[in-house]
Chains A and B, each alone.
Chain A
Amino acid sequence: MERLEPYLCIAPSLTVLAIFVFYPILRSIYLSLFLTDPLGNPKVFIGLEHYASQLSGTFLQSLLVTIKFVLYTVPVGLVLGLILALLAYQPLKGTRFFQLVFSSPLAVSAATGATIFLMMLNPVSGIVNYVMGLLGIGKVHWLTDPRWALWAVGMVSIWLRLGFNFVLMLSGLQNVPEELYEAALVDGAGPWARTWHITLPMISPTIFFALVVGVIHAFQVFTEIDMMTAGGPSNATSVVVFQIYQEAFRKYEFGAASAQAILLFIVMVFFTYLQFRLGERRVHYQ
């Protein structure tokens, strides 16, 4: 009995992971090598043909859109989250309140955020265009103009992600030892010097972590796209996950969609590896 105990403890987790993670990975790889019928059963073995056709067509196009989306949203999101965290970490009365306010987007789902921004970005009656008009900038057809649609969706994503980035940065700040600031204060360092020379290096692991997680998250964007633009206008916001969804659950091409999913995974692994190669050196671990 004693010897069985550890296995009994991990059995529930292992069972769920086996059915809903391990098996699906193998199944996806398998499906990606087949033409499937509309029910998802593999019918004709075609080898790597899905991969070849994806790499010469739709996948590359949607990958490009996705990479643009990552570049639009992740850096801005990180900087904003960091600024909010630095503001709310000051020893002032009422910071608890501001901390709660800054983390509030965490409770807003992508579906909710998308709906609210759909209203705010309405080209005719929306408040965003109204304010832009007041500032003397012309009206923008945010979601129907191919030049703007990805920015518009990106804006929503940045806001939605702000709560997470803030909470992450704040918990990083809380791990910086107080003595370092005291020592710097004795040396006469001002607030800027303290931020630049102590805070930022000390929380660089947090920033790096937020970057890696943020990039992975942005590669997987779906909800805002599905609700706000459905991939349009003229495929300007057709990110990879949206393509996978279309391919699998609208066109019932489960084999091709599986190939896209695996290609996306490979790309994500590559980008994560790249970040570790380039980033780790600049990160200061305690």
Chain B
Amino acid sequence: MRGQTNLLSLAVALVLLTGATVLGVTFADAALAEADRDPGERHAARATADRLVAADAPTTVRANALDADAVGGLNATHLDDLSPPVAGADVRVAIDGDPVVVRGAPGGGTTVRRSVVVVSRSEETRRVDGLDNGSTIRVPRRVDRVTVDIDPGPNTTIRTVRANDRVVLHDDGGLDMSATTRLSRYEPTTLRVDAGANATGRVAVTYRPVTVEARTLTVTVDA
């Protein structure tokens, strides 16, 4: 009788222990399966996106502002140089869904999205101003550099060029040159050439107007 009771309790104990083991292994297995991710892939995608939009990247004009020309010339080799973690992995870089660089077929990889603006410089605009009228030239905002060609006529000495009352070019001996000067992007600029009342000659200002468009950059890496 006692032996039977012991047998019964042993059976109950074994059932309990087996159940607990099965449950425990199931949970642990599920947790491990969930942990079986590819952190390298995620890291590569994030690093590549970070380096593509960094302020000092070869693809950008400034932080988060991609240069349209530089992005157009991007290829997989450049990408590997820029971001070594993606070397050897399938990668796709797209702007608003249009692929820029594709290597292999990154299907179920990790995707990172970044908000960027794409800066494209249009054709050069050249504006020529005779010095016999009021020599002010207006440059629109978003232009960060202009080239000023100064060609004074005879008996004319031009000493100073100002941008929004800030002196950008000055020579006491007279300016007769072509120079590139930087302007503020945040406001329209008025270039003024200081010349006498009956000055002759020409001033040409050359700049490239800028268009800026908001886009989404996606980097997909499938290691």
Are A and B genuine complex partners? no
